[in-house]
Amino acid sequence: MSSYNGNHYSTELGTLSLYLNKTTDGVNFEPIQAEYPATVTNSGGSEIGWMFDLDGNIWGVIRNEDGDASGWGSRIFHADAATPGKWEFTQDESAVDIYESPRMFRFGNELYLVARTDPKGHFWNKDAPQSNLPRWADHYVDLALYSLRPHSTAIWHMNT
């Protein structure tokens, strides 16, 4: 069995759908678990990095650049080994930092994230002076400010 992560884009804010599917032939895909719908999350997530821990649980990071009701930035999720199709966010609000092109790996029993990021500022400046703008306009200001700053690649240890 191999797995596939894909995304589907809709024009509404926060309606990107992430799927965890399985295949036996590399052509035909189906949900990883029939009891749960193929869509494991509806958010503004457009990139994802995930890994299994030694117990078979899934841990991951979603780049929430397009935003959802929780804001913009990144979302961390978890799924138990018994229900891999049921992803749950670890926090109600998006983290203000964004992890671009997230990739995860396991070393022993420890999980790590490698991603591009901005060490000099946050992606979502929810407390910035432009916060009195409409939500969509505020997001474009954040995108512009973020794009003008230098970026780097870093590694983080995931606290499971």
Q: DSSP assignment, residue 132?
A: G
Q: Which of 23-37, 80-94, 131-145 bottoms out in mean pLDDT, i.e. has the lowest?
A: 131-145
Q: And the tokens for 160?
A: 């499971």
Write down the residue that tokens 């994230």 correspond to. Answer: 113
| 34-69 pLDDT per residue, tens | 787 656 566 778 889 999 999 999 999 998 877 787
Q: What is the DSSP letter of 143?
A: H
pLDDT in tens, 92-101: 888 888 898 9
**For residue 44, what pLDDT is reported?**
76
Q: How many helices (H) and strands (E) does the chain have?
A: 1, 11
Instruction: State the residue range of the domain holding 121.
Output: 2-158
| Number of separate domains in the chain | 1
53, 160 Cβ separation under 8 angstroms: yes
The amino acid at residue 124 is: W
Pairing, β 39-43 against β 30-31 = unpaired
